[in-house]
Amino acid sequence: MRTPPHKTLPPPHSSIPSHPLSVLKPTIKRLRNFPPTNAIMRAYEYDNITGDQREDHDSGAVISGAALNQIGVLTHHFDSVDDVNALATERGYKNRDEVTISPSALGDLYEGKVKTFFHEHLHEDEEIRYVLDGHGFFDVRSKDDCWVRISVSKGDLIILPAGIYHRFTTDKNNYIKAMRLFQEEPKWTPLNRDPQVDENAYRTTYLKSLSVA
């Protein structure tokens, strides 16, 4: 997917020290100034009914914000980018870019990209997305390995811990624009689920964090 050149956040963000991937940090971080809130985002058990992934797939079983926090997923709603900047400083994010996922932005590549995003995968970095416009769904695995769907729209910010299995899709409107934040250079490296990835160091560290949460 083509994305605009990344932007470096203004000082003092650039003064935050980097952390090499070889140092495994605690997977779940709590914010001092931004307590998690699910006042806006709706989360529920995925209904697992065969069909278009972009449908709501709402089983009617609501998942609380506290339950999301227990698996390391943090959610916020910010009307101002100033709040996003403050959170970026808090968590050590120095770079950002913006992506638009829609047929008009991606042309013939759109359907293939959406299918790629929907493959179950994990990252070795925390994933943080701030929705600038549109709507989509993040699906994450619960403690018992069931899918939980989180609906995101403009102003929502979601943080997924390194090592959590998840996937993403647009909704039936086929449009979302989001800001991605990074500690280092912008990248998106998915590790699709398989037995080898199950033994990934970031995955095992994440699972250990659940046992003590």
**Rounded to 5 degrees, what are φ and ψ at 53?**
-60, -20
Q: Are 17 and 202 in contact, with CB atoms under 8 Å apart?
A: no
Q: What is the DSSP string of 70-84?
A: HTT-EEEE-SSHHHH
Q: Is 119 annotated as a binding residue?
A: no
- SS3 of 7, please? strand
Distance CA 165, CA 170 (A): 18
Number of Cβ atoms within 10 Å of the Cβ of 51: 8
- DSSP β-bridge partners for residue 129: 158, 180
Q: Is 13 annotated as a binding residue?
A: no
Q: Is 121 annotated as a binding residue?
A: yes
Q: Is 123 annotated as a binding residue?
A: yes
DSSP state for residue 173 in the 8-state scheme:
T
**Cα distances (angstroms) measured from residue 175 to each of 7, 54, 58, 72, 178:** 23, 11, 20, 27, 10
Q: Which residues contribute to the annotated binding site for Fe(2+)?
A: 121, 123, 127, 166
Q: Which residues contribute to the annotated binding site?
A: 121, 123, 127, 166
Q: Which residues contribute to the annotated binding site for Ni(2+)?
A: 121, 123, 127, 166
